[in-house]
């Protein structure tokens, strides 16, 4: 334990059963919370809306939460208006787009050599329209999510209007595979392990990963209310250090964490076994059940490449995309909104007593590369 005494020892943290909740599980199991003087109770939740509401009303001290939700809640989009902040990113990337077997073969019949399936998708959508067929249906996990923003970004890159040319629905991650199997949806963009579940069970093919859309993408963050952070600064620092240590541990020992992840993810999902957790965690990814695995080492990053730093540029990227789809008013001051939600100052403060050999801190809070894709 280092730093000043924590204001609160007993904390309740919420998480959704997804592979990228691992830093919380590991911090608990490997004693990183305890080392910082924290007694943490982890609570599994069933929806992102629940996580947000429970953090806002104070039933949870903090949570594994979607990065765009922090911005959305801070201005009252889609729910309660309450200032939420993040000073810690739980990692980078993790998402993938999986399509049904039918859609996959239709796309490859059009052009099997086309690497970028986006233009094939556009041709297919146009053909379907000409034939009077219903629009393709794609699912993501929450409206204000990087999943939704990435899918929209990818579709729009070839001129597909995600609000007109396809139907976009929201489904809980755990229901994606069933809906794909039952052909209620033609594809989904979700996080690990749900793409691997669909692929390994033979219900879909991974068309591309999130990294193919946005490199070093923001995904889940540690979210707390501004009020909580102001009341419990030392607790917040301790929490950040504990999670950082868990993320660093995961970078070298991810495979060791598989039983722990399985134990928590299979609680409410009979579809989860260890096999489906392996691809995203180890980077030995399987895109198609009939093919050999490929190396996709950056598919889910827990710690390297300064993955835990709450980059203002990540906030800006999300903000720019939320504006693009008219979820944010066009005249909103994005810089001010991001600065109020993304708090690299707190992250830096948490590590202020450590030397540069223990942690690498960037010289700038902004990484221009994150905005290169705009």
Question: Would you tell me which residues interact with another protein (CB under 8 A)?
Answer: 46-50, 53-54, 56-59, 76, 78-82, 141-144, 169-172, 174-175, 326-327
Which of 73, 120 has the CB closer to another protein?
A: 73
Closer residue to another protein (CB): 73 or 100: 73
The helix or strand, by DSSP H or E, that contains position 242, with its residue range, turns out to be helix 233-253
The CB-of-175 to another protein minimum distance in angstroms stands at 7
* Nearest approach, Cβ of residue 371 and another protein (Å): 24
Helix axes 67-74, 146-156, angle to 10 degrees: 100
Shortest approach of another protein to residue 281 CB, angstroms?
A: 23
- CB of 143 vs another protein, minimal distance in Å: 4
Q: Measure the CA–CA gap between 132 and 126, rounded to whole angstroms.
A: 10
CA distances from 33 to 41, 175, 282 (A): 10, 32, 24
Between 23 and 173, whose beta carbon lies closer to another protein? 173
CA 201 – CA 197 distance, rounded (Å): 6
Please, which residue, 79 or 298, has the CB nearer to another protein?
A: 79
Taking the C-alpha atoms of residue 360 and residue 185, their distance in angstroms, rounded to an integer, is 43
Cβ nearer to another protein, comparing 255 with 332? 332
From 165, 91, 184, 76, select the one nearest 125 (Cα to Cα).
165
191 closest CA partner among 168, 169, 174:
174
Spell out a b/e string for 269-298, using b for 16 or more CB atoms within 10 Å of the CB, else e.
Answer: bebbeeebbbbbbbbbbbbbeeeeeeebeb
Provide, rounded to whole angstroms, the least separation between the CB of residue 46 and another protein.
Answer: 4
* Closest by Cα among 318, 279, 313, 319 to 299: 279
Q: Angle, nearest 10°, between helix axes 117-130 and 101-110?
A: 100
Report the chain's terminal Cα–Cα distance, integer Å. 42
Please identify, using beta-carbon distances, which residue of 46 and 133 lies nearer to another protein. 46
Phi, psi of 215 (to 5 degrees): -80, 150
**Residues forming beta bridges with residue 40, ordered by sequence position:** 11
CB of 160 to another protein, least distance (A): 18
Given the complex with another protein, which of 133 and 169 has the nearer CB atom?
169
Report the 10 Å Cβ neighbour count for 362.
12
Rounded distance between C-alpha atoms, residue 343 and residue 79, angstroms: 22
CB of 135 to another protein, least distance (A): 14
* CB closer to another protein, 56 vs 317: 56
**Who contacts 230 (Cβ-Cβ below 8 Å, separation ≥6)?**
none
Of 69 and 312, nearer to another protein (C-beta) is: 69
**Closest distance of CB 346 from another protein, Å:** 23
- To another protein, the closest distance from the beta carbon of 257 in angstroms equals 24
**Peptide bond between residue 193 and the one before it cis (omega within 30 degrees of 0):** yes
Minimum CB–partner distance for residue 81 and another protein (Å): 6
- The distance from CA 308 to its chain's CA centroid, rounded to whole angstroms, is 13
Nearer to another protein, 271 or 373 (CB): 271
């Amino acid at each position: 334990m280092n730093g000043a005494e924590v204001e609160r020892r007993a904390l309740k943290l919420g998480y959704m059963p997804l592979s990228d909740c691992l830093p919380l599980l590991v911090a608990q199991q490997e004693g990183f919370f305890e080392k910082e003087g924290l007694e943490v109770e982890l609570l599994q939740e069933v929806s992102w809306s629940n996580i947000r509401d429970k953090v806002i009303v104070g039933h949870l001290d903090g949570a594994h939460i979607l990065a765009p939700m922090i911005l959305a809640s801070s201005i009252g989009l889609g729910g309660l208006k309450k200032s939420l902040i993040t000073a810690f990113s739980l990692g980078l990337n993790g998402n993938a787009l999986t399509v049904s077997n039918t859609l996959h073969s239709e796309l490859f019949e059009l052009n099997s050599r086309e690497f970028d399936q986006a233009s094939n998708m556009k041709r297919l959508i146009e053909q379907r329209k000409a034939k009077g067929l219903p629009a393709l249906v794609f699912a993501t996990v929450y409206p204000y999510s990087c999943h939704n923003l990435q899918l929209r970004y990818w579709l729009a890159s070839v001129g597909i209007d995600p609000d007109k040319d396809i139907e976009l629905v929201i489904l809980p991650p755990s229901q994606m595979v069933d809906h794909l199997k039952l052909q209620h949806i033609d594809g989904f963009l979700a996080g690990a392990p749900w793409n691997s579940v669909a692929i390994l069970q033979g219900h879909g093919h991974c068309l591309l990963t999130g990294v193919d859309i946005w490199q070093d993408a923001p995904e889940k963050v540690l979210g707390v209310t501004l009020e909580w952070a102001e009341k419990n600064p030392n607790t917040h620092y301790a929490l950040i250090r504990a999670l950082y240590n868990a993320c660093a541990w995961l970078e070298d020992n991810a495979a060791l964490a598989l039983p722990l992840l399985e134990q928590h993810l299979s609680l409410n999902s009979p579809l989860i076994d260890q096999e489906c957790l392996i691809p995203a965690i180890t980077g030995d990814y399987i895109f198609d059940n009939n093919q050999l695995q490929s190396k996709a080492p950056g598919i889910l990053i827990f710690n390297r490449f300064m993955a835990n730093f709450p980059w203002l540029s990540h906030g800006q990227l999300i903000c720019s995309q939320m504006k693009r789809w008219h979820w944010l008013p066009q005249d909103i001051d994005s810089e001010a909104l991001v600065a109020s939600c993304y708090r690299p100052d707190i992250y830096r403060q948490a590590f202020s007593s450590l030397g540069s050999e223990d942690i690498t801190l960037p010289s700038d809070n902004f990484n221009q590369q994150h905005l290169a894709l705009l």
